[in-house]
């Protein structure tokens, strides 16, 4: 997902294709997030709510970045915000999953 976002933001060819693949990726991420939410609600409900809010902000920032790129007014702070929120959402997801991929 992160690679598709970077390709959509930093390339000038096939941008719409990368954006569409990213949007399909949202569906996968939302689906796996629902599965994670069902399992994590009884353990860490507060952290789960924080992750949901941060994930929605991340999706909104990505869409704003796509729109700004189309208008040719994409700026560095917005790109950094997308990167930071991507990392934070991933870390929150791993924390809710009990650091499963790393433990």
Q: How does pLDDT run across 59-77, given as a tens digit for each residue?
A: 999 999 999 999 999 999 9
pTM summary value: 0.88
At 102 the pLDDT is: 60
**Cβ proximity of 9 and 73 under 8 Å:** no
End-to-end CA distance of the chain: 23
Residue 14 region by backbone torsions, left for phi larger than 0, else alpha for psi between -120 and 50, else beta: left
């Amino acid at each position: 997902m992160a690679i598709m976002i970077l390709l959509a933001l930093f390339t000038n060819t096939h941008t719409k294709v990368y954006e569409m693949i990213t949007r399909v990726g949202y569906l996968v991420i939302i689906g796996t997030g629902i599965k994670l939410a069902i399992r994590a609600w009884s353990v860490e409900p507060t952290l789960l709510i924080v992750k949901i809010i941060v994930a929605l902000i991340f999706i909104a920032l990505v869409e704003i970045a796509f729109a700004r790129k189309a208008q040719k007014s994409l700026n560095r702070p917005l790109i950094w915000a997308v990167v930071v929120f991507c990392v934070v959402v991933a870390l929150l997801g791993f924390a809710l999953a009990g650091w499963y991929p790393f433990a």
